[in-house]
Amino acid sequence: MKLGVNIDHIATLRQARKGEKPDPIEGALVCEKAGADSIVCHLREDRRHIQDKDLSLLKKVIKIPLNLEMAATDEIIKIALKEQPSQVTLVPEKREELTTEGGLDVKGNLEHLKKVIARFKKAGISVSLFVDPEIPQIKASKEVDSQSVELHTGSYAETEGEGRAEELKKLREATEFAISLGLKVDAGHGLNYENVVPICQIPGIERLNIGHSIIARAVFAGLEEAVKEMLNLLGGENANR
Ligand code: PXP
């Protein structure tokens, strides 16, 4: 199972002060060094986290593939064609949402998506569609000539108890169906250190794209060291402990 690390929330923290730090490019390099298979970022219409310059720099600096999540709008398509990430993942986007809420309605946007995918293919950029684990959306993904789908694991992540087994079953069946059509299958959204293992065990999923939980974990994995470094600079009685 491959891991794509979404670095959006390093940029979220930076944008809280609209300064330079923490730098998502530096973050991407740490993920690469740690063994991540790809870097994921989402250039949103409202630029709430990743900025245009981040995308240009990421493409230049990292050696592993860059997967750009994006809405299929004219503005972002133009930027993506210019920056040439290895892959784009088309997602639905609403300004008021906190994060990508549901999967893309591929079935309801066949003609538009067919044209967009053809443009990316012509430019040598592979395309994935972020869809709910539903058979009609997967069928439609094949119809519009996508190479891959990323299955939305948000409902699985949000469902507790018996409902979770049902969500897992949907993901397993959707994976099997997508593979039978010749699509590559990735998955992601809401995955964390507690819920990732059953998803990992679904045969056929090639890659998980995970962001928030890894960046959230990094805060506590690094906080003790960060406090010690500051105490050492202050040189008080708690220095060098
Ligand atoms: N995959 C897609 C298509 C997403 O939109 C997101 C959120 O940006 C993720 C994966 C990662 O989700 P999370 O941050 O909850 O791990």
pLDDT digits (tens, 9 = 90+) for 42-81: 999 999 999 999 999 999 999 999 999 999 999 999 999 9
**CATH no., domain 2-234:** 3.20.20.70
Rounded to an integer, what distance in angstroms lies between the CA atom of residue 73 and that of residue 55?
17
Active-site residue (options: 69, 83, 134, 150): 69
* pLDDT beyond 90 at 209: yes
Rounded to an integer, what distance in angstroms lies between the CA atom of residue 67 and that of residue 10?
16
**One-letter amino acid of 229:** E
Question: In the chain, what is the straight-line distance between the N-terminal and C-terminal CA atoms, in Å?
Answer: 39
pLDDT of residue 236: 84
Rounded to an integer, what distance in angstroms lies between the CA atom of residue 221 and that of residue 227?
12
Domain residue ranges of the chain, discontinuous segments joined by +: 2-234
* pLDDT beyond 90 at 101: no
Rounded to an integer, what distance in angstroms lies between the CA atom of residue 118 and that of residue 147?
11
* DSSP code for 2: E
* pLDDT beyond 80 at 98: no
Active-site residue (options: 9, 49, 152, 189): 189
Comparing 90-99, 132-141, 222-231, the range with the smallest average pLDDT is 90-99
* pLDDT beyond 70 at 23: yes
pTM of the model: 0.96
**One-letter amino acid of 176:** E
Mean pLDDT estimate for the chain? 96
% of the chain residues with pLDDT over 90: 92
Ligand 1 centroid to residue 42 C-alpha, Å: 9
Q: For residues 105-112, give the mean pLDDT.
A: 96
Ligand 1 centroid to residue 128 C-alpha, Å: 13
* pLDDT beyond 80 at 223: yes
Which of 87, 34, 78 is CA-nearest to residue 58? 87
Cis peptide before 198 (omega within 30 of 0): no
